[in-house]
Amino acid sequence: MLLSTKREEQRGAAESSLLHLIARFEATGSAVEVNFRQLMSSDGSTNKSAHAIHPYPAKLLVNIPQFFLAALPTVSGSALLDPFCGSGTVLYEGMLAGLRPIGSDSNPLARLITTAKLTPLDRAIARRHLDEVMAAYPSASPNIPDVVNRDYWFSERISDCLGRLKTAIQRNVPAPYRPVFDVSFSATARRVSYADPRLSVPVKINPDRSARYGAKGDEVIRRLVRLGEVDVGALFWSIASQNIQRCPELGQLFAVDRPEIFSDARSLGVAEASVDLAITSPPYVGAQKYVRASSLSLGWLGLTPDCKLRPIERQSIGREHLAADEALTSSGTGIPEADALLEEIVERNPLRARIAQRYLLEMRDALSELSRTMRHDGNLVLVVGPNLVAGLEFPTPFFLQRIAEGLGFSTKLHLLDSIASRGLMTKRNRTAGLIQQESVFLLKRVRTGA
C-alpha cells in the first residue's frame, strides 16, 4: 500500500513537472536546462535491480525513462518501443510500469542482456540449474570458441576454465534459462581478462605503464596478480547467483512473458501505427565503440565466427568504419545545414565526413521506421548529444530533430541535461571530443503520413 501510494505521488509530481517544463519551453522557445537526477530521484533500489546484471557501456540514465513513464499517460499492456535499446534500461522500466516492451539493437550482446532482464524466471529452478552447472564444470571438456586475440587477453588456465564453464552451461541449462546464464558467463569472461577494468573498450593492463594509471595504479596492477589465482568457477557462481536474484520472478504481473527484440532499427517487425510511446537514445555519430567494447563477450559467446567483428559492426548505425563502397552521397542528407557542415569536414577528414553523412542517412531510415510504427498523437522521447567531428561541432540533436519533424513529429519540449558520468565512450579519437550535455526531446506524432 505504501509503495503504491509513493508511486502515485511520484506520478503526480512528474506530471506537474512536465506541464511546467512544457509551459517554459513554449514561452521562451528555448531549450530548458534540467537535472534528471533531481527531477526524478531513484527509489534507491536501482543498483540492486536487473540494470546491474552486466557492465554494458553507455547505459542510459535510468531517471530519464522513469520520469517520462511517470509523467506521460500510458495504458497498461500498451506497447513501449526502444529501437536502440542497448542493455534494456528503457524496456525494463517500462515493463515494471506495466507496458509491453519492444526493442531493437544491432549488437547481439545487447539483445542478449535485454532478453535476460525482461524474461521472468522461476528463481528456484534457476538456482537448481546453477548447481548442476557447478557440479559438471570441474570435469567438463572445454569448449573454446573463436575469440579475437584470445591469447593476448586470457591466460591458458583461464581460457580452459571458461571453456569448461561454457560446456557445463550448454549441457545443463535449458533454453528459457540460458539468457541469464550466458549474460553471467559474459560478465565473468570480462572480469578474468587482462583488460583494464576502468575502461569500457578493452585495453590490456601494462605493468610497465603503472605510473600512468594515477591513484589507482597499484590496484590495477594487483589485478594481474589476482588473475593468476582467481577461481573462475567461484566467480561465475557469485555473478550468476546475484543475477538470478535480480531478474524478474516468474508469476509477477508483467505485460508479456517474452519481449519482442529485433536486430535492426530500420526494419522492425511491428505493425503500422501500433505504438503509443517510444523512448530511445540513438548511438552517437562515430563516437561510440559498442562492438569493440563487447568484443571479448561476443567471442566467448560464440558470436564472432572466424574472430571477425566487422560483420557485426557493419549492421550498426554510428559505426567506426565504412566499407570502400560507402562513399559520400552527392545528393546529400536533405538537411542544408548538415550538408554545408559536411563540406567543411571533407576538407579536414574525408573519412569522417563519410561516416557522419552515412550516420544521418541511416538515422533517417531508422526514424522513418519509428514514425511508421507510431500512432497519431503518440509520444517519442529522443535522447541525443552533440559531439565533434574532425574538430568541428556536429549538432546531432538539431539534425535529428529536423529529420523527425520532416517525418511527422512535432517538438513539444526540448530539455538539456548535463552528463556527469554515464560510462560513455565518447572520446573516439583526438577529433571526436567529449559529450558534456544531452538534448532530450519530447515529440508528438502529428501526421499519419511521412
pLDDT score recorded for residue 423: 44
List the chain domain ranges. 2-120+250-445
- Give me the CATH code for the 2-120+250-445 domain, please: 3.40.50.150
pLDDT score recorded for residue 146: 86
Contacts of 385 (CB under 8 A, 6+ apart): 284, 396, 397, 419, 426, 435, 437, 438, 439
pLDDT score recorded for residue 43: 58
- The amino acid present at 379, given as its one-letter code, is N
Q: Which three cell numbers stand for residue 57?
A: 557501456
Question: Which string of DSSP letters, residue by residue, matches 41-77?
Answer: ---S-GGGSGGGSS--SSPPPTHHHHHHHHHS---TT
pLDDT tens string, the chain, 450 residues long: the values are 445 677 788 889 999 999 999 999 999 999 999 999 999 876 545 445 889 999 998 889 999 999 999 999 999 889 999 999 999 999 999 999 999 999 999 999 999 999 999 999 999 999 999 999 999 999 999 999 988 889 999 999 999 999 999 999 999 999 999 999 999 999 999 999 999 887 888 888 877 776 666 666 677 778 888 899 999 999 999 999 999 999 888 776 666 667 899 999 999 999 999 999 999 999 988 655 778 888 999 999 999 877 788 888 888 898 877 877 788 888 899 999 999 999 999 999 999 999 999 999 999 999 999 999 999 999 999 999 988 999 999 999 999 999 999 999 999 999 999 876 444 444 444 444 455 789 999 999 997 644
Q: Which three cell numbers stand for residue 229?
A: 589465482
Q: Are strands 79-82 and 100-104 parallel, antiparallel or unpaired?
A: parallel
**How far apart, in whole angstroms, are the C-alpha atoms of residue 442 and residue 436?**
20
Nearest to 52 by CA among 190, 175, 187: 187
pLDDT score recorded for residue 204: 87
Question: Which string of DSSP letters, residue by residue, matches 187-245?
Answer: HHHHHTSSB-TT-SS--B--GGGGGGGGGGHHHHHHHHHHHTT--HHHHHHHHHHHHHH
pLDDT score recorded for residue 47: 44
- The Cα-based distances of 225 to 17, 55, 105, 228, 229 in angstroms read 51, 22, 37, 5, 7
Can you give 4-41 as a three-state secondary structure string? HHHHHHHHHHHHHHHHHHHHHHHHHCCCEEECHHHHCC
What's the burial of 37, exposed, middle or buried (CB within 10 Å: 0-12/13-18/19+)? middle
pLDDT score recorded for residue 223: 81
Whole-model pTM: value is 0.92
pLDDT score recorded for residue 427: 45
